[in-house]
Structure 1
């Protein structure tokens, strides 16, 4: 089956529209797996499986309708390259012809204990067909590995690599696409081969990179508030409800408007944590709120 979506989904956005994309569906064909379907739609394994928890990822029933969760609440930072580890997704923000544009793609992230350190980095260099100089820590785990893996099908960096300014971290391709949307690396961030090849020419050296961890995101679409929730696999948010309140207050500050949340709906979304944006509130202009008193 041919690929349905181009690599790197691209959306226009504004401060009044921070929810982009749309939910879709796909009818399972002969020999489809959820991993195949995820890649066709530029999704990670985490997204497709969270959105379709009752479907066997390896043997989905032929003819079954699969939900494609290709709608996204943008992260709190909307500048440069933003990697949301909790979501296992990358966002690249830039201006094109006076329009705010964002590109997005799923990623694979570090295994337990080796997640990328949060913080601000910079792209310091780029390489096509990079050689992989095996870090000492990985050599200790896998002593049979050579010191250097040359470019080619056995190279875990794939065909492109963006090198970050701290540690040995990279944003790179992969020779194991099944790892996208999973915790599989030693700290680097992996993209599908087609995504890294599309991203590579867009990102100049010197681009800031923000590594964040946001399992809960609030965004605005047509005056309504949407909540997108993912599992907090690092247990970094002790009180999800307090986090939602903090995000709501941030919206209020930015919009200078009254933020109304439907807390029963918020509770349901936090229970599901399925990565799908749900309507949980609305924005009211201050003058409208005063008039309704």
Structure 2
């Protein structure tokens, strides 16, 4: 009886292995390796960033933050480290991962608006920034080393911006001196969508 069970079990396992063999061979043939590991993909630095942290990335309603849409509205949600944009048409909506201020002391909350936009921003660290980090330059022109990235939108609050960053490690982290940072492809898109006068809430 024991021998018969073993023989039946062995036969079943052998049959399953036989059925699976074509699939395994197909998965391992050289002509499919390129599909699994493509050699022609662009470098990751040249591709739009993948949106992650989906547990925190929940869509929100502009009505919960603003009385009217007006020229559009931006919510910088510091807790979930995400930026929401609603267009004035009431249909356009975007959601981006962001960097947020390093500490509560550097965090400003409340309502403001976009008063100026600039492609290729230059950067002048504030006195407080240079006090915290004496190695900072007094001025930095636009370029790959500039911490404001490729685009910047200036708010009514002095020295507070929504801007890009060349250092993608900062996104999703508490890494700024008060500003809200986005991946460069995302700030470029938001820059083109948001008008001067767009209302902004940091919350």
**What's the TM-score, normalizing by structure 1?**
0.48
Q: Which aligned segments of 4 or more residues in structure 1 are displaced greater than 4 angstroms?
A: none
How far did residue 199 of structure 1 move? 0.8
Task: State the secondary structure of the residue aligned to 2:92.
Answer: strand
CA contact 1:42–1:106 (8 Å) conserved in 2: yes
Structure 1, gaps ≥5 residues long: 1-28, 52-68, 213-293
Residue of 163, 171, 183 corresponding to 1:172:
163
Task: State the secondary structure of the residue aligned to 1:149.
Answer: coil
Task: State the secondary structure of the residue aligned to 2:128.
Answer: helix
Separation in 1, partners of 2:119, 2:163: 10
Query: More strand per residue: 1 or 2?
Result: 1
In structure 1, the partner of 2:50 is 41
Task: State the secondary structure of the residue aligned to 2:165.
Answer: coil
CA contact 2:49–2:183 (8 Å) conserved in 1: no
Matched, 1:209 2:200: yes
How far did residue 40 of structure 1 move? 3.7
Query: More helix per residue: 1 or 2?
Result: 2
Instruction: Please give the per-residue CA displacement for 1:26-66, whole angstroms capped at 9, x wherever unaligned.
Output: xxx89xxxx99xx74223xxx26xx5xxxxxxxxxxxxxxx
Matched, 1:92 2:85: yes
How far did residue 175 of structure 1 move? 1.5
In structure 2, the partner of 1:21 is none
How far did residue 112 of structure 1 move? 1.9
Structure 2, gaps ≥5 residues long: 1-36, 39-43
CA contact 1:114–1:186 (8 Å) conserved in 2: no
Matched, 1:183 2:174: yes
How far did residue 115 of structure 1 move? 4.2
Q: How does 1:72-221 map to 2 (within 5 A)?
A: 72-75=58-61, 76-77=64-65, 79=69, 80-96=73-89, 100-212=91-203
How far did residue 173 of structure 1 move? 0.3
The aligned length equals 154
How far did residue 181 of structure 1 move? 0.6
Q: Which one has more relative contact order, counting CA pairs under 8 Å at least 6 apart?
A: 2
